[in-house]
Amino acid sequence: MPRLSQEKSDARRAEIIDACEALYQSESYHDITMSQVASGVTFGRANIYNYFQCKDEILLALLQREHDKWTARLDELADDAENLDDERVADGLAQSLAERKQMLKLLAMNLYDMEQNSRLEKLVEFKRSYARAVEALQRVIARAKPAWDEERRMRFLFSFLPFLQGIYSYAFHSEKQLDAMREAGVTPYDLDIRTATRDLVLKLLQED
């Protein structure tokens, strides 16, 4: 049997991720199965295992792809950052996250399972993409705030990055969660990713 070209191999990998992404948008993480993923691709189930061992690895690859898209957006923002005031930088970062709701959902709700259940080499691939995103974010801040020293940039970074892993849970609630809050006498709050991100970033940029 002839070997697949790199182009075709990459296309198959992307097709697997696309199929799993479609499931993730309509199914619970824990309900997704490899059989369901296989039903969404144009080649046999056995071939999926040439790329991914389990659904967790596929979803980790989806999260990696989401980070790569976010990195591209951050690179665009970094190109203009030295000409932007604090409010426009905050707007840019807020919009970049508003476009990546799926990334934020995976980070908030499923990161531990994906990392624990994936093989080391898959986790390393993801961590490299994550590192590129962090580097792109650092470039945005370094160009927007050239007077800041390394310590001040790191203070921004480690105030902002933990926010990424929590914001989705505050912005989106299931019907069951909403019902529970009402029965507990807790008023459901209305929070959107863009506004919350903008407010946080602007505060961090304007701190001494």
Q: What's residue 1's pLDDT?
A: 46
Query: pLDDT under 70 in the chain at which residues?
Result: 1-3, 208
Residue in 7, 4, 3, 16 with CA at minimum distance from that of residue 122: 16
Determine what percent of the chain falls in helix, strand and coil, rounding each to the nearest 5: 75, 0, 25
- How deeply is 120 buried, as exposed, middle or buried, from its count of CB atoms within 10 A (0-12, 13-18, 19+)? exposed
**Where does 54-206 sit in CATH, by number?**
1.10.357.10
Task: Return the DSSP state at 189.
Answer: P
pTM comes to: 0.93
Closest listed residue to residue 56, CA positions, set 147, 153, 11, 123: 123
Task: Work out the number of other CB atoms within 10 angstroms of the CB of residue 40.
Answer: 14
Mean pLDDT, rounded, of the chain: 94
Query: Cα separation of 19 and 144, whole Å?
Result: 39
Tokens encoding 22: 């479609």
Q: What CATH number belongs to 1-51?
A: 1.10.10
d(CA 17, CA 21): 6
* C-alpha distance across the termini of the chain, in Å: 64
| Domain locations in the chain as residue ranges | 1-51, 54-206
Residue 5's pLDDT is 86
Nearest of 62, 67, 61 to residue 130 by alpha carbon: 67
* Residues in Cβ contact with 30 at an 8 Å cutoff, skipping those fewer than 6 apart: none
Contact yes or no for 13/57 (Cβ under 8 A) = no
